[in-house]
Amino acid sequence: MAITISRVHPTFVGEVSGVDITKPLTRDQVDAIEAGMHEYAVLVFHDQPLTDEQQVEFTRNFGELEVTLAGQLASPDKRRFQQLELGDISNLQENGESLRARDDSRRMYALANRLWHSDASFRAVGAGYTLLHARVVPSKGGNTEFADMRAAYSALDAEAKAEVDGLVCEHSIVFSREQIGLEVKSDQHPDKLKPVPHKLVVTDSVNGRKSLYLSSHIGAIQGWPVPEARAYLRDLTEHATQRQFVYAHQWRVGDLVMWDNRTVMHRARQFRDLNEKRDLRRTSLKGVGLEVANRLAAE
């Protein structure tokens, strides 16, 4: 059975059928999914009952897995999974049963995911693809929204394109947490929290399409006064997240959504019932093109 991808949104997002991703894939299947990622930037797979190991194996088809920063910073007894590649996107305690308290530090840290961002853009090599798999979802709310940064770039006028094309932004997790009033103590992990430069415009190496590499982790633009940079980034983010560029994913158990952080931003949406469980698991790949962008930015 061949893989087919049907369009879900006018500019991005494809729904994939004709593949069981709990099983090892053939080279042709991997190639079809890769091609789909360059075309759609977000792919949705329904009814895929993946285990942790199967999710890691499926992710490995597309590159080198990244170890999450939260996983690195948490002590082993505070982690729900042993694999450092698996990100815990849940509201659960280590036992996997009880819910985290409203003021739990991990919960508060994760609340910054409600801001539009690109995963791990605070790293010298940010995330390429992120894969999120739904194990338990709340009855209402908790959507993930995606914004097409290629369409957002295309919609800029010529002057705005010329301006963004030359800019280099500084990314740090300290900046995104600061926006929700959370202080990340930089004296404990200064090497991991130091701002890293990335070009604001990223070009897809396969099809040459340009996109805006925006993220709530950005706190400065090189060569600009900080207040001017922050005001400008707010305007640009507002432009880039207009409704015509956005797709809201309503999770079903067994959904796997994969997206390219170099071409889309995303954010988590609120769910109000604090007594309901939500358990999603994340794997990410290193964003290869960003290494180049970073090296150029540093020159």
* From 66, 88, 119, 148, residue interacting with Fe ion (rule: CB under 5 A): 119
How big is the CA angle at 28 (ends 22 and 29), to the nearest 5 degrees? Answer: 30
Find the helix or strand (DSSP H, E) in which 198 lies: strand 196-199
Site map for Fe ion, 239-258, x if CB under 5 A? --------------------
CA proximity to 166, closest of 126, 199, 208, 122: 199
- What CA–CA distance (Å, rounded) separates 250 from 50? 18
Query: Is 176 in a helix, a strand, or coil?
Result: helix
Tell me, what amino acid is at 271? F
Contact window for Fe ion (CB under 5 A) among 65-73, 119-127, 139-147, 284-292 = 119-127
- Residue 203's DSSP bridge partners are 210
Nearer of residues 156 and 202 to Fe ion, judged by Cβ: 202
Nearer of residues 36 and 126 to Fe ion, judged by Cβ: 126
> What's the closest the beta carbon of residue 127 comes to Fe ion, in angstroms?
8
> What's the closest the beta carbon of residue 130 comes to Fe ion, in angstroms?
6
Q: Does 85 bind Fe ion (CB under 5 A)?
A: no
> What's the closest the beta carbon of residue 260 comes to Fe ion, in angstroms?
13
- What CA–CA distance (Å, rounded) separates 35 from 41? 10
> What's the closest the beta carbon of residue 26 comes to Fe ion, in angstroms?
30
Nearer of residues 85 and 119 to Fe ion, judged by Cβ: 119
What are 65's two structure tokens? Answer: 């897995």
> What's the closest the beta carbon of residue 193 comes to Fe ion, in angstroms?
18
Q: Which residue is at the shortest CB distance from Fe ion?
A: 119
> What's the closest the beta carbon of residue 132 comes to Fe ion, in angstroms?
8
Give 113's DSSP letter: G
Alpha carbon 157 to its chain centroid, in Å, reads 27
Number of residues that bind Fe ion (CB under 5 A): 1
The contact set with Fe ion (CB under 5 A) reads 119
